[in-house]
A and B are shown apart, each in its own frame.
Chain A
């Protein structure tokens, strides 16, 4: 069994790091919101959320990109939905996402700065 003793070692290690702060990011961070209501979860939002959250942490981007979840956005038939809020820019809504597409959005849009048009709600003729 894994015990809490290991956690103490993590604490001691982290307390030695200077400039440690919460991973809530600053106000210039990009906010990525995944719909996690019944409709989202049933459509497969959990792998999307975890792919985004894991990759952001892995790549050490937690201060630039904040991944959070929300309830029903009201467009259940297009779930899983990912909304991207970038300061000073219009909101981008990605629909019918999966982990693979999420990974692409992370690389091309969130890191690269280019909206992945193929997956947006706008490109599917909806506004």
Chain B
């Protein structure tokens, strides 16, 4: 994985696989604290304590095609390689929450990458999923909530051409205004 945003896409797919109806993704950069924080929280089926202990082990997976599961270990490693931290909490029936802190100025911090495409992909390829997204840099931030969008659109699908385009533009333009086009790489 070459971008934090690709890790996020991968982790978020786990939420979808866990039957989540809602997923919350938050990126917040604090230049004064030198931290880029990523929070991914879902209301999927969650994991029991035993599974949770094994989930950061690359030789554990819930899938059946292979005996290796690298998604969570990759993300943990990427955060910890910067001197940051990784935390995962989960309980059966309630959902899972991952919080990763990346040290912003660390040479081993991978670029945030195209986070707008990650969020857009999640929304248009999972029409049943509701996504709540915040992108914050110091005091500036913007939100996107698919529930609000659905309220306005009624039964017009989020993956229809015009709406999909609008969501992409919304993500890209508002991100530019929030971080003043500073690319966190």
Contact = CB atoms under 8 A, between A and B. Distances in A.
A69 B125 contact: yes
Contact of A1 (B1, B13, B164, B174): B174
A74 interface: yes
A39 B35 CA distance: 28
Contact of B173 (A2, A8, A23): A2
B65 interface: yes
Given A41-B10, A42-B6, A11 B160 contact: no
Interface residues of B, number: 38
A23 B177 contact: no
Contacts of B152: 4, 7-8, 11
Interface residues of A, number: 33
Contacts of A46: 6, 9, 117-118, 121
B162 A74 contact: no
A38 interface: yes
B1 to A, nearest CB: 5
A50 B153 contact: no
Contacts of B125: 49, 53, 68-69
Contact of B124 (A11, A22, A53, A74): A53
Given A1-B174, A22-B159, 20 more contacts: A1-B142, A1-B173, A2-B170, A4-B148, A7-B166, A10-B162, A10-B163, A11-B156, A13-B162, A14-B160, A36-B9, A37-B10, A39-B70, A41-B6, A41-B10, A42-B1, A50-B117, A50-B121, A57-B161, A74-B65
Interface of B: 1, 6, 9-10, 13, 17, 63, 65-66, 69-71, 74, 117-118, 121, 124-125, 142, 148-149, 152-154, 156-157, 159-164, 166, 169-170, 173-174, 177
Interface of A: 1-2, 4, 6-8, 10-11, 13-15, 20, 22-23, 36-39, 41-42, 46, 49-50, 53, 57, 62, 68-69, 71-74, 76
